[in-house]
Chains A and B, each alone.
Chain A
Amino acid sequence: MDHLLHSTQLAQLAFPEAVPAVTMAHYLFVSAAMFVMGLVGFLTRKNMIVMFLCTELMFQGAGLALIAFGRHHLGADGQTFVIFVLCVAAAEAAMALALVVLLFRHKETLSAQAWKELNG
């Protein structure tokens, strides 16, 4: 661990202009961007598969943030956590797609608006 820290700082010290510092903020920015894209996609699209993909995008955005924080604190927790999340997400994806197929069979459409009658 100490060695890794050392080499990164070394590289930055050696090439201050050539290698712009990839800081925590960068990772978080990418993560946030992914999350917001996913969120906006989820809110604006009607196709259930696309909406589902958007949720996946939000997932991965959050996962990226977790990894970045884990790297920042130099622990393995974040990465471990994300591995688990990926596993669960894979299982959930299978379920969700099956659900979408079922819903499609009912209404012959993928639009989420078709299920509007489930109101209060």
Chain B
Amino acid sequence: MINTTFLTSTLAMLQDGHAVDTHAPAVTHAATQIAEVGTGPKWILLIIGLPFLTSILCGIYAMIGNKTKLPAWTVVAGSGIAFLTTLAMYMSFDGTPYTVHAFDWIQVHFSSEGGDKSMIANFSFYIDTLTIYWMLFVTGLATLIALYASEYMSHDLGTSYCRFFGAFGLFVFSMACLVMGDNLLMLYLGWEGVGLCSYLLIGYFYKKPEAVAAAKKAFIVNRIGDLGLALGVYLTFVHFGSLEYAVLFNDPTLLGYIESAKTGDFSAIPRMAQWIPLLFMVGAFGKSAQFPLYVWLPDAMEGPTPVSALIHAATMVTAGVYLIARTYPMFLTSEYALPIVAWVGTITALLSATIAMAQFDIKRIMAYSTVSQLGYMFAGLGVLTPTGGVYHVLTHAFFKALLFLCCGAVMHGFAGQLDLRKLSGLRSVKGWGIVTLGMFIGCINLAGVPFTAGFFSKDTIIAEAFVTPGASMIGWILLFTAGLTAYYTFRVFFRVFTGPVEYHAGEEHHGDDGHDFHPHAPGWAVNSVLLTLTVCSIAASGLYFVGGNKDTHTKHYAQTMVMASTANYESPYSKHAIHAAHDSHDPNAGAGPRGTIDHELSMPIIGGDPHKVMYYVSAVFGVVGILLAALLQGPKGWQGLFIGGRTNAAECRMDPIARMCGPIPKMAENKWYVDEIYHMILVTPLRIISHIFHWIDKLLVDGLVNIFGFLPRLLAWILKPSQSGVLQGYAVSMAGGVTILLLVVFVIILQGGVA
């Protein structure tokens, strides 16, 4: 549904000649952009306001003790109207970014050394193609997943149901603030908002200790990243004097930096400016679960599955990608930022793919796969294809939401069973056809089977890695990871959905005994959402062929959307000029004179242009991965096509091979002990230090205070016996005192008085 609208609107836009970007070169365009950024219609505020309103309504429902599905319908309606409004915004967009002002928020004027300055961060929204692109799938998926959740959460009707949908609405609101805000402070507001909602929803089952621990872990790990982002925002203001996108990205200083970065001269760019992208990067790594801050995301699967699908797969975790895409001009000004982003993304992709291969919990496999795919997106941003990264965000959002929702349907139907050793042949169980179909479509997308959306978006990234000088190692690692991805994806599919029918109820089954357990197939809400997402996932591949723009030399829809936004870096300059800039600080890539590296000649792989060869190479990797999965994990003689040997749910041909590999599979199953290592090198020392500080506080600080409190008591204890209660005693001491005083005076007088 969503994607057909995408297509028609894109086509309509092209026919009307509403090209997303103008013909004018972007530098001159940029110089005049401040004047050009107009104000938009106020009805766009509905996208922000409605989710917030639904959240408040859910709170009111909880107060009046609603026990129906009303909260779900409220959120579905709110998100749905927000989606339609986004669509209307998209239809009426004419290519010029504009802002919509809601109300004044922070306006501080002050004078400093450099003259009068002002810090302006209004509650207003910046609409350009990137915003629209993001909001379309955020609100669309939110609507679908809220509909799914209306059925999925129905066992919890009442206050908890209201709580769930309240947080859900608040999440959509926060995400809208993050994506649509017209300044970095609004982005930060949304950033913290989605973090809060993520915390609330991971800890939804707050009586379960694992859920509470996971919620805390997510929150604390995110704080580390958020600190980086906050410092980055601060540094941006200090250095560029503005936080508003419209001003910031047209700042002559910033444009000057990019000019010098193009020539490879980074020494002209102050250190302070080069730090900004590095700090933003830390924030992005935290929110988007990149190494070394990825550990919270797999644990976040303790939350309800719709939450995993929406927040921890499709939308919130892509906020880091959004941040980097949005502030892409700043990333170009740093010598190290983009290479680090690329390498961290690559390492994350490989590491979490290896972990995913050895897990048995299907939801966790999907979680690690999300981390891995986010790694691809970061690698894409890092190797100078924000297009690839952003396109992968969209395709991944659809197929990963679909995969999660299928896993959720399985979990829901089999009383919480997620272990792939205890589920088999669901394909043949009555009522699970749509889930099987959805899972299959999701899996072929994730595995990168040719002509799927995931195939095209992943290829864009990998091909660009081979084109970018010095990054071919990244390309090879990503290719290898693509093979691993195909393997672990179809490991789940072959084991859970094919083979002999066999299932065991999960922990949530409370029947008399395990034998009369009957899985309950998903209802209409779940099935319709799964079908819609299946169609969307298939349709997303169509976006690779439509929506190109001849004027701006863009080839497909995502590229058109990205290149007309602030993530654009190419069109003002000669093609691949930035590649040359990278070349200059990369000793490995010395081919060709600076700035003239040609696409076709730059990094030939297997004797051809990477962009074309990559289709075949990555297809081979994907298919080999799937065949391996079929061989090792597939059922015995499945329709005569595969030669797998699994006859029951628990065992497969992989097992003897795994046994031969020694401790490696066990280590991968234990996530390479990363959690334990973190615990050892971070948590334990922190705990020891905090204990030391605790005792310092208790002994030194409290001790000092206590001594001052104790001194008067000691004095009183010494003098107490003199208060005998005998009247004469007091009189004697008084008379004695007077006498002694008199004697002293007498002696002084005898000695001649005081001089």
Contact = CB atoms under 8 A, between A and B. Distances in A.
Interface of A: 39, 42-44, 46, 51, 112-113, 115-120
Interface string B694-731: 00000000000000000000000001111111111001
A15 B360 CA distance: 134
B149 to A, nearest CB: 73
B735 interface: yes
A61 B394 CA distance: 109
A117 B725 contact: yes
Contacts of B725: 115-120
Contacts of A112: 726-728
Nearest to B721: A120
A43 B731 contact: yes
Contacts of B728: 42-44, 46, 112
Contacts of A115: 725, 727
Contacts of A119: 723-726
Interface of B: 719-728, 731-732, 735
A46 B728 CA distance: 8
A39 B735 contact: yes
A113 B730 CA distance: 12
A112 B728 CA distance: 8
Contacts of A113: 726
Contacts of A44: 728
Contacts of B723: 119-120
B719, B727, B728, B735 interface centre (most CB from chain A within 10 Å):
B727
Contacts of A51: 727
Contacts of B719: 120
A116 B725 CA distance: 4
Nearest to A39: B735
Contacts, number: 33
B154 to A, nearest CB: 74
Nearest to A51: B727
Nearest to A113: B726
A119 B725 CA distance: 4
The 9 residue pairs across chains A and B that have the minimum distance between CB atoms: A120-B723, A119-B725, A116-B725, A112-B727, A120-B720, A118-B725, A119-B723, A43-B728, A119-B724
Contacts of B732: 43
B735 A43 contact: yes
A51 B727 CA distance: 10
26 contacts: A39-B731, A39-B735, A42-B728, A42-B731, A43-B728, A43-B731, A43-B732, A43-B735, A44-B728, A46-B728, A51-B727, A112-B726, A112-B727, A113-B726, A115-B725, A115-B727, A116-B724, A116-B725, A116-B726, A118-B725, A119-B723, A119-B724, A119-B726, A120-B719, A120-B722, A120-B725
A113 B727 CA distance: 7
Contacts of B726: 112-113, 116, 119
A116 B723 CA distance: 10
A46 to B, nearest CB: 8
Contacts of A39: 731, 735
A65 to B, nearest CB: 14
Nearest to A55: B731
Contacts of A117: 725
B585 to A, nearest CB: 83
Contacts of A43: 728, 731-732, 735
B212 to A, nearest CB: 55
Contacts of B721: 120
A46 B729 CA distance: 12
A13 B720 CA distance: 62
Nearest to A112: B727
Contacts of B731: 39, 42-43
Nearest to A54: B731
A58 to B, nearest CB: 10
A113 B724 CA distance: 11
Given A39-B731, A51-B727, A115-B727, 9 more contacts: A43-B728, A43-B732, A112-B726, A113-B726, A117-B725, A119-B723, A119-B724, A120-B720, A120-B725
Nearest to A40: B735
A90 B244 CA distance: 88
B339 to A, nearest CB: 79
A110 to B, nearest CB: 12
A115 B727 CA distance: 8
Contacts of B735: 39, 43
A47 to B, nearest CB: 11
A112, A115, A118, A120 interface centre (most CB from chain B within 10 Å):
A120
A112 B724 CA distance: 12
A92 B723 CA distance: 25
B676 to A, nearest CB: 63
A33 B724 CA distance: 29
A46 B723 CA distance: 18
B712 to A, nearest CB: 14
A116 B731 CA distance: 14
A113 B726 CA distance: 6
A2 to B, nearest CB: 33
